[in-house]
Amino acid sequence: MKISVALVVSAALLAGCSNPKEASKSNFQHAINDWIEKAPPCLAMPDGTITAANQKHDAMPVYVEAAVAARPYAEENRQRHIAPLDALVDAGLLRSTRTEIEQGQGIFVSNGGKVAVLAYDLTDKGKAAFKDEADKSGFGGMQPRFCYGKPQVDEVTNFTQPADMMGMTLSQVSYTYHLADLPDWTKKAKVQAAFPALATNTAGTRDAKAAVVLTNDGWKHEKAI
């Protein structure tokens, strides 16, 4: 009988500890982790300065005129486009080749014609990190991008008392997180200089906030509802 009572008490305690609807740091950490690990930060694919005839918007490769521009402001603009693309070449995500293309016609281009260009295309490493589909996480759109790392919550530091709002029970949560499984290219100085947000995101532990919502299955990140 003593053993049976002990088992019943232990089961009750375990059930209480694992209640997914309880407002607790562990439940909130789980809810936030479930969402943010699917939404890693990304670098937007830089634009080129010219497109090939019949090339679709945001299609690869990206092209930049190979010739030095005659006017200083035009050359500054060309270099601004080249710098982040060359940084991605240094990271091993893109390769750069010289070629010629038939220039597409547009508002500022009337005749098209062949143009010498630097063509930037994906390497195998780049293809592994590249995304060009719609971002279902809500953190981005259709723009092609290179994503990196896996966000992981380190600690829920505090949360508000759950309260009803617009027919839902919510809590505002403050937490810290870091990026795990960072690929080696994120540590390249040239890439971090070209994309300052990369250096910030990979610097270590960061502070963040999120709202969590109580559902019939327990707590969920607000963006997962």
Residue 198: phi and psi, rounded to 5, are -65, -45
Provide the pLDDT for residue 197. 94
- 165-216: pLDDT as tens digits: 989 999 999 999 999 999 999 999 999 999 999 999 999 999 999 999 999 9
pLDDT band for 134, please (50, 70, 90 cuts).
Answer: low
- pLDDT exceeds 70 at position 8: no
Judge contact between 102 and 114, C-beta under 8 A: yes
**Separation CA 22–CA 24 (nearest Å):** 6
Q: What is the pTM of this model?
A: 0.78
- Within a 13 Å sphere around the CA of 6, how many CA atoms are in the beta-carbon half? 3
Judge contact between 180 and 154, C-beta under 8 A: no
Under DSSP, the state recorded for 144 is -
- What percentage of the chain reaches a pLDDT higher than 70? 84
Judge contact between 191 and 94, C-beta under 8 A: no
